[in-house]
Copies of this chain bind each other. A is one copy, B any other.
Amino acid sequence: MQISGRFTIAIHIFACIATFEDDYKITSDFLSSSINVNPVVIRKLLQQLKAAGLIEVKRGSGGASIAKPPEEITLFDVYTAVECVGSGELFHFHENPNTDCPVGRNIHSVLDEKLLRIQTAMENEMKSITIADVISDTKRYISENNK
């Protein structure tokens, strides 16, 4: 199973805002045409990012902007804002191991710590990459490929 496309879409949103905010009003329609997903999907995502304090959205007049310095927004922030995994658990554990079985009774104790270690390794790497990195790389690529 893969991590939802909402994650890469959300990052794409940040890159678009940073690249175009001086020249365009960043509406959900504008974003939707760069990303090629339905504007309503974008709006829902913007809501989630707003709730996490990462993005500001203007009602009425319209337009989205980044709510705090991009150096202070990590990919982990975006990931948690956007993934609906309520529990925050990366791994799905089979629900009902048989507690009458010595292995079934202890499998959670054995695995939980190991799974958490794996999840933490991933999350730490996410925390080491910021939206500022994404933005500067985006600008670099754009100028390299002239325009």
Q: Which residues of A line the B interface, CB within 8 A? A: 1-5, 7-9, 11-12, 15-16, 19-20, 33-37, 75, 83, 85, 89-98, 101-107, 109-111, 114-115, 117-119, 121-122, 124-126, 129, 133-134, 137-138, 141-142, 145, 147
User: A101 near B34 (CB under 8 angstroms)?
Assistant: yes
Offer 15 A-B interface pairs, CB within 8 angstroms, sorted by A: A2-B89, A7-B91, A8-B107, A11-B107, A15-B103, A19-B103, A34-B101, A34-B103, A35-B94, A36-B97, A37-B94, A75-B114, A107-B138, A118-B125, A122-B125
Which B residues are in CB contact (< 8 Å) with A110? 15, 134, 137-138, 141
